[in-house]
Amino acid sequence: MTRDPHGPDSGRSAVRRPASIKDVAAAARVSPTTVSHVLSGNRPVNEQTAARVRSVVNRLGYVPASLARSLQAGSTSVIGLMIPDISNTFFAELAKGAEDAAHDLGYGVILCNTEFDAEREDRYLGMIRSRFIDGMVYASGSPPSRRRLEALMGRFPIALADEEVDGLEGALIATADHEAGGRLVGEHLRELGHRRALMVTGPRELKSGVARAGGFVKAFQGHVTERVGDFKEHSGYRLVSELLAAGDPDFTAVFAANDLMAFGALTALREAGLSVPGDVSVVGFDDIRAASLAHPSLTTVHQPAYDVGRTATAQLLQYVSRGEVPPASRHTLPVELKVRASTAPPAR
């Protein structure tokens, strides 16, 4: 028994097959071609005919299947957004910017939350090869996997957001000015009178963290102890705790390469009975929402996460929407130092 969408009662519980362009054409006694053109406006149609078609469209509740349209057009108007953790406010802001830019151009965004999991990332990258998405905004925040590089090097439409990737100098990339951020922190602490600092960096593979550290060291011009963290709160806590436990810490200020680790540092210092900023100053990076609410409120570098996401996406779509391959280009967005309560001149 076949289903007839016009049937008197195709039955309440069953899922009715939605009307197709053919159903509309038949009911309006025109060809599918004409229906298509009435809806798209791609060529003039007699007003009488058009009216008849439109009325049938309404009556049947016809909505064109975008899938078929995509197949025919060769593009889906959907892009992927690859990020490691959507519950991190930095990436959430970035996602918002990406979604906004995509929405402006009529694109949808598939959320690819990797949890730093390479396998998961690979699966999502596969979507681009299966042509389910027209491009990818990539902000994975972890070192490149083999398949990832393959996809990128294969000149698939990908834009890097916030983070460069080694060996991909020829990509489209939008990023905050990490080095300038580091420099601002270095200058700030130096001006306050600090001469010995602890820098908690991110993993060496991540260029952004390296740039932050580089800018800082250059501007601080004092003694810097470096420790490598992983951008998670606990590593900030652990590294600072260890140094304090080892006795006589050789720093009056801590610069963590992101706010999360700065929070960890704050906790470690508090537990050690040190006051912030009385005994030790602390600076973060990112300016996530919690930074201004923490106690003491955190001096940090504001990253324009929203703009990074928005810029990367807008740039990508500018080319993708014309069927072109995005060329190499770099968009560096300005950062800003937010001086709050966690920094002060060193004691003595």
- Residues 79-98 binding a second copy (CB under 8 A) are 81, 85-87, 89, 92-93, 95-96
Structure tokens of 295?
Answer: 């106690």
Pick between residue 42 and residue 72 the one whose CB is nearest to a second copy.
Answer: 72
- Residues 110-169 binding a second copy (CB under 8 A) are 110-111, 113, 120, 123, 126-127, 129-132
Structure tokens of 4?
Answer: 């007839």
In this structure, is the dihedral angle defined by the CA atoms of residues 35, 39, 44 and 48, taken in order, positive or negative? positive
Binds 44: which of a second copy, DNA, none (CB < 5-8 Å by kind): DNA
Pick between residue 131 and residue 218 the one whose CB is nearest to a second copy.
Answer: 131
- Which residues, including other chains, have CB under 8 Å from residue 184's CB and lie 6 or more apart? 215, 219, 301, 335, 336, 337
- Establish if 78 lies at the interface with a second copy (CB under 8 A): yes
Tell me which stretch binds DNA (CB under 7 A): 12-20, 140-148, 187-195, 288-296. 12-20
User: Buried b vs exposed e over 28-52: b needs ≥16 C-beta within 10 Å?
Assistant: bebeeebbbbbbeeeeebeeebbeb
Using CB atoms within 10 Å of the CB of residue 155, give its burial: 0 to 12 exposed, 13 to 18 middle, 19+ buried: exposed
Give the C-alpha distances (Å, rounded to integers) separating 25 from 2, 22, 56, 62. 19, 5, 9, 11
> Taking CB under 8 A as the rule, which mask of x and - marks residues 287-326 in contact with a second copy?
--xx--xxx---------------------------xxx-
Which of 28, 84, 99, 268: binder of a second copy (CB under 8 A)? 99
- Residues 100-119 binding a second copy (CB under 8 A) are 100, 103, 108-111, 113
Tell me which stretch binds DNA (CB under 7 A): 68-76, 115-123, 146-154, 337-345. 68-76
Structure tokens of 28?
Answer: 């309006």
Which of 6, 29, 223, 295: binder of DNA (CB under 7 A)? 29
- Cα–Cα distance, 50 to 203 (Å, whole number): 62
Give the C-alpha distances (Å, rounded to integers) separating 227 from 13, 16, 87, 194, 304. 63, 62, 26, 18, 26
- Residues 33-52 binding DNA (CB under 7 A) are 33-34, 36-37, 39-40, 42-46, 48-50
Binds 6: which of DNA, a second copy, none (CB < 5-8 Å by kind): none
Residue whose token pair is 């053919």 = 22
**Residues in contact with a second copy, total (CB under 8 A)?**
49
- Which residues, including other chains, have CB under 8 Å from residue 253's CB and lie 6 or more apart? 189, 192, 194, 196, 197, 198, 280, 281, 282, 283, 343, 346
Tell me which stretch binds DNA (CB under 7 A): 15-23, 113-121, 217-225, 291-299. 15-23
Contact indicator for 301, 181 with CB cutoff of 8 Å: yes
What residues make contact with DNA under the rule CB under 7 A? 17-18, 20-22, 29-34, 36-37, 39-40, 42-46, 48-50, 62-65, 67-69, 71-74
**Interacting residues toward a second copy by CB under 8 A:** 3, 5, 13, 15, 18, 63-68, 70-71, 76, 78, 81, 85-87, 89, 92-93, 95-96, 99-100, 103, 108-111, 113, 120, 123, 126-127, 129-132, 263, 289-290, 293-295, 323-325
